[in-house]
Each structure stands twice: as C-alpha cells, then as structure tokens.
Amino acid sequence: MKLLQRLGVSLPPSQPPGDVPPVAENYSRTGRSPVGWSSDLSRILALPRRDLAASYTAADVEALEAQLRAPAGPCGCAAMSPARPCPTRLRRVQALALLEASRVGGLLGPIGTGHGKELTTFLMPMVMPACRVAVLFIPANLLPQFTAEWDYYGAHWSLPNLAGGRWFRPGLPVLHVISYNKLSSQEATDLLERIRPDLVILNEAHNLKDPKASRTGRFLRYFEKRPETRLVALSGTFASKSIKDYAHLSRLALREGSPLPLAHHVVEEWGTALDPGKVIAPPGALERLCEPEEHVREGFCRRRNNTRGVVATDESALDKPLVIRPRYPGPVPAELLALIELAHGGERPDGEQFQEQLQAIACARQLSAGFFHRWCYPRGEPPELIEEWFAKRKAWNKEVWEELKGERREHLDSPGLLTKAAIRAHMSPPYEGDKPVWDASTWTGWAEIHDAVQPEPQAVWVSDFLVQDAAEWARTQVGIVWVEFPELGERIARAAGVPFYGGGRAASEAILQESGRRSIVASIKAHATGKNLQQFCRNLVVTPPSDGALWEQLLARTHRPGQRAACVEAEVCQHTRDYTDAFVTARERALFIKQTDGQIQKLLLTQ
C-alpha cells in the first residue's frame, strides 16, 4: 500500500543516530533564524499554570446546573425527527467553559466538533457577570437549524432573551444572533456599534481569522473603541494554517493573560517555527516552552491549555471508529490524463493559456472529475473577432505567466498588479510616480480589444467515468456523496436517481429533513460545516479538499454524537495525482492542527 505509506509520512525526517548537526549548521540548512527572546515570551512563561481538571469540583458543576436549569415542564424532544434525548445535564466541557468564562471574564475555547458548543454559547450570557446585551456570531449555514436548536435546549435550560424573539423576561440579558455573512454586508459597517454588546460570543470563531477581511475589521474596530467588552471565542480549529489565525482573538479574550504573543511581529516570528511550511525555523527561545524531547508545537499547546481562561478538549467527541479508505474508480481515460498534463503545463483543453499556477491546479481538479470550465459567447460576437480576441488574450496571458514564474516583487506579484504596472508603462504623458512599471510587449494589442468580447463560463464534459462510479456507489449503498462542483453533483444525482443539495437556504433546510434511508449528493462548500447529518454513516468524497480543517468539519457531519451505526466510513477518490496531492496536504495540515491545537483530527484517526 504505497499510497497509505505516503500518507503516513508527515513528520519531519529524523536524524540518523549519532549524527545530529549543531544548531549553527541547522540554521544555515533551513535558511531561517531561530526564534529569539522577546518580552512577549517572558510574559507568557511567567503566566501562572493552572490545572483545569482540579479547578472545579462536582459540587461547582451541580450548583451551576441548578442555577441554569429551567422549571420542569413539557418538552418536544421525543417528538423530534429523529427523536433526541432530553438535554438535562451539561457535558463536563460545557460546564467548565461556563465556569471558567465567568471567573476570568473571557474565554478562548479550542473545543472540537460534537462537544456541545451550541448550548455553551446560548448559556454564556447567563453566567457572564453583569451581562446586559450579548451578540452571538454563527456561520450562516447554522441559521436553518437555529430555531429548532434554541427551542430544544430552551425547554430544559434557562436561556437569555432572544432579540426579536417571542417573549421577553425582564432582568435577563438580551442575545442577538447574527451570521458572519451578515457582518460582512455593506449595511453592517456599524452593526456592533448600534447594538453595543458588553459580551461578544463567537461560535466557529475561525470565521474571523483574517484581519484583512471586512468582517474581522469591523469586529476589531469595535473592540478597539470599547476595550471593556468581553470576548468568548470557541472553535474546533482556531488555526488551520498558522497561529496568526487566532492570536488576535486570544488577545481580545484574555488580554495580558493571553498565551499567544500580543505583538504582531512576535506572532509572525513564532509562526516561522510553529506553522507548517516548506522551510521551518528552529524553535530557538521557544524551547523554553518544552519538556526535553518534546516537539515545539506540543510544548506551545500544553502551555496554552494550562493558561487561565483557556478550556480545550483533547479527545474526540465520539469513540466509534472512523474508517477512511482510498477509492480508485477504474482506469482513468487516457485522453483525460493527457489533458491534465496539458493543464499542469499551463494550457486549458480549449487552448486557453493560464496566467497563474492556481488556475492550472483548479483546471486539473476539474479534469480529474471529467470536465473543465470554458467560455461561451451569449452576445453572439462574430467568430473572427472572437479568434482575434482569443489570440491576443492568449499572448498576454502567456507573458503574465512567464513573468510570474520569476522572482515575485511588490506591486508586481499578481496578474492584477501586473496589469496595473503595464498600464503605467504605456501612459502618455509617461508615468512619473514611484510604483514600478512593466513594459509588456503584448499589452497594447490586448488593451485595444479586451472589451470587445464578453464570454461566460460553461462546463464541457470530457468523460463521465467518475460520474458513473459515484452513481454506482450511491445506488449500491446509502450514504452521502460529497462534491466540490455543482455541475458534477447534479450529474451524479441524475445518474443515480437521488437528490442533489447545492447552495442556498432551501437546500440547507431540505437536507436536514433527509431520513437517511436513501443516498444523497451534497456540495462540500454548502453542507460540510455545521449540519447534523448523523442519520448517514457512509461518505464518498469524490473531490478531496486539501484543507485539513475542512476535512475535520466534513467528517464530523456523520462521525458525531447521536451516530447509531457501529462505525463511520469514508471513501476518498484517489485516481489522479491532483487528488492524492490534495489528500496528502490535508493530512499535513491536520497534523499541524493536532500538534498546536491539541485537537484530535479525524483525518488522522485512521492510517
């Protein structure tokens, strides 16, 4: 099983015994400086260490439950479809998160999927001292099931007043529930300022990992203006690629008590030793976080989890086995393999020249599924014009492709920036600013014609071998067929005679109504996060993603509490190099998450 061996190899190669190079050689070998000393590091080393398990007694938990429990009354749990047990007790991690957040006045909660983050977020305003108005942010794909979940827990627990809800009980805090998408919308620019929460709760907090995104900017601006606001941030995968993904969330939740650096440049520096990458820096001063022989990621994770205000899970929420197997859907048609090679060389099957490696990879992923996207011309431009347009576009794209292959420089490192630099190079009167110019020889020809033709994308099918294989899978067993591309999902669904659930609110509501007695085809983008689909126990991942965090989410749809089958299975199509590479990358990123976040990753549960 060569493939499985390859997948297992994700640790750095060990040195042969007795041949350990000195640090200086290590430094020149990796080309990166070791992490240096900083005031942030000495602050973090001086933070008190706390044993969470010993911090609260059983009596503390019982007192909390008594305080939060709703008066006994009728409930609809047994009548739900499928029927659900009455949620009458808090899970241990839920109780610890609530107790610790109220003691510290903020919380960083690396808590995996299936550990009941939802109820934790609902109850948080009830325990946070002097909370009056709270905002809970959730991913948009959790909205369709929100009301049902709120009612389910609300029958047994005393929840805050829901803003815009049916009833209002004086004296209780008000909770606004808002999707991250809404925070991104134009009219939400002053949303937080209008609500003025004294507590912000983030479920799946990695939705605010990118400080450059407008939603994160709005969130950060509010905390800058009102630094007394409390933050509770929960996520199963705070960092999917870098500790940079959540250093800002840790700072806002725990302030001077944050176990991550507060200064941006120190976060960057730590990332060179902790983050996955081709060239990793020696840990240097970060060794101070580690026991002898301990990996620097594990030392960092242990220090983080022993910090006041951090409540982390370190076990999978479900101890049922998860079996992940590669699937080889018959021989790949030779024509398809040839087109994939062509795509990696920079050319689409219809002759279009790519500008960037990313486009080539995207096209090869489509071809691995049997099709590619090209253009059609609904405005009816004459063929000669299209031909000329196409030739000039191809020449331009080729020149951009070649330019980007070389050393990348500021203001010249993307097709868009190269276009701007080419425009500057051809200005009259000549450009005199300080940005670089690019004297591209094909620019003038392309600039004259590029508006004359307006193509639209269209899927062109080369082979349906993968469609047939997935349809066969869906007909011979009951499970979820996961796909990246809607056109692929629709074809498989039609061939198998089962429904396809793509994007949109209607599909999100309908997929939750599935009984689990027939197969379905589902869009990864639309349904792989947040939804409870434990009525299914088999998965076929037709187009494997390369993102480890997305895999964790996808597998947790079915490998979660409430699963009645003895075991959950996932088959992963591995018939082209593009799909095996994606799966290897996903496992490397899953290993990073496991080591730095301390979260068991489902992708690593099976070998």
Distant-in-sequence, close-in-space partners of 581: CB < 8 Å, separation ≥ 6: 546
Least CB distance to Zn ion at residue 94 (A): 17
Considering CB under 5 A, how many residues would be counted as binding Zn ion? 3
Q: How many CB atoms lie within 10 A of CB 125?
A: 25
Q: 5-29 in b/e burial notation, b at 16+ Cβ within 10 A?
A: eebeebeeeeeeeeeeeeeeeebee
3-class SS of residue 157: strand
Q: Which one, 75 or 107, has the nearer CB to Zn ion? A: 75
What lies within 8 Å, CB to CB, of 516 at 6+ separation is 478, 535, 536
| Least distance in angstroms from the C-beta of 416 to Zn ion | 55
Task: Tell whether residue 151 is a contact of Zn ion (CB under 5 A).
Answer: no
Nearer to Zn ion, 77 or 220 (CB): 77
Q: Tell the smallest beta-carbon distance from residue 156 to Zn ion (Å).
A: 6
β-pair partners for 235: 110
Q: Are 484 and 525 in contact (CB under 8 A)?
A: yes
Closest CA to 527 of 547, 557, 506: 557
Closer Cβ to Zn ion, 83 or 334, answer by number: 83
Side-chain-side CA neighbours of residue 245 (13 Å): 22
Shortest Å distance, C-beta 78 to Zn ion: 7
Backbone angles phi and psi of 481, in degrees to 5: -95, 115
Nearer to Zn ion, 86 or 452 (CB): 86
Beta strands in 391-530 (DSSP E): 456-461, 480-483, 500-501, 520-523
Nearest distance, CB of residue 98 and Zn ion, angstroms:
20
Quick one: which of 262, 244, 314 has its CA closest to 52?
314
- Output the six-digit token pair for 558: 């079915």
Q: Which residue lies nearer to Zn ion by CB, 76 or 504?
A: 76
Q: Quick one: 155 or 425, whose CB is closer to Zn ion?
A: 155
Rounded to an integer, what distance in angstroms lies between the CA atom of residue 187 and that of residue 179? 13
- Minimum distance, C-beta of residue 318 to Zn ion, in the bound complex (Å): 22
Which x/- pattern, by CB under 5 A, does the window 60-89 give for Zn ion? ---------------x-x--------x---
Q: How far is the CB of 119 from Zn ion (least distance, A)?
A: 13
Cβ-based nearer residue to Zn ion, 77 or 512: 77
User: How far apart are CB 154 and Zn ion at their closest, in Å?
Assistant: 10
Q: Are 382 and 376 in contact (CB under 8 A)?
A: no
* Smallest gap from residue 85 Cβ to Zn ion (A): 8
Q: Which is nearer to Zn ion, 8 or 76 (CB)?
A: 76
Structure tokens at 103: 């003691």
Tell me whether residue 84 or residue 320 sits nearer to Zn ion (CB atom): 84
The candidate with the shortest Cα–Cα distance to 471, out of 455, 494, 437, is 494
> Which residues between 422 and 481 bind Zn ion (CB under 5 A)?
none
Residues that bind Zn ion (CB under 5 A): 75, 77, 86
